[in-house]
Amino acid sequence: MTSGRPVPTSAAPLTGKFGEAVETPGKVKIEFAKPEPYKLDQVLDEDDRKHARGVLLAVTVTNNSNKTLTELHLSGFGSFTENGNQEVVKLSALVAHDTTIGVPDLPPGKLAKLRIAFGLGAKPGLLRLDLRDLAGRTQVYFEGEV
């Protein structure tokens, strides 16, 4: 995104649930494990430690295509809506020494394992992540109760 406008996609958005995998038309398989509690004292930014709780998601990205993916990017953005609340809060991934959101170049048949964490409110609610497989120009969402 250089002009501030969204990058056009070539397919309808895909939606997966935590604990499932989604494969894009570009043959990139993205799998999120079910969320786990995350200790916020590991976060580098002091303001991010003020959240009521943290969640950690392990992500596996597999290149099932026949070419090396060099433009693959998973952005660490999403939204959270507490149960019983109408407000949707925008989120960005927390930065810590034990999290990774960058995806290296992926040769065919190889995979990368990532760890992404978010700070949330105290009540349970719906976490929805907005991911983009730039190699295939596919919009991918993952969501679930946390």
CA dist., res. 93 & res. 132, Å (int): 15
44 backbone φψ class: left, alpha, beta (φ>0; ψ -120 to 50) = alpha
Q: Are 25 and 65 in contact (CB under 8 A)?
A: no
Beta-strand (E) ranges in 64-102? 73-82, 89-92
Q: Is 146 a residue whose pLDDT tops 70? A: yes
In a domain, 33, yes or no: yes
In-domain check, residue 97 = yes
Specify whether the CB–CB gap between 118 and 94 falls below 8 A: yes
Give dist(CA 117, CA 36) in Å, integer.
Answer: 9
**Is this model's pTM higher than 0.85 or not?**
no
**Pair 2, 128: CB distance under 8 Å:** no
Q: Quickly state the pLDDT bin for 126 (edges 50, 70, 90).
A: very high
Is position 89 within any domain? yes
Confidence of residue 102 (pLDDT cuts 50, 70, 90): confident
Query: For residue 111, is pLDDT > 50?
Result: yes
In this structure, which amino acid lies at residue 137? R
Query: Is position 107 within any domain?
Result: yes
**Interval 82-93 mean pLDDT:** 89
Whose tokens are 């660490």? That residue is 76
Residue 65 in domain: yes
**Structural domain of 127:** 14-140
Instruction: Evaluate if residue 8 carries a pLDDT over 60.
Output: no
**Would you call 138 exposed, middle or buried from its count of C-beta atoms within 10 A (0-12, 13-18, 19+)?**
buried
Domain count across the chain: 1
What CATH number is attached to the domain comprising 106? 2.60.40.1240
90 falls within a domain: yes
- Domain presence at residue 125: yes
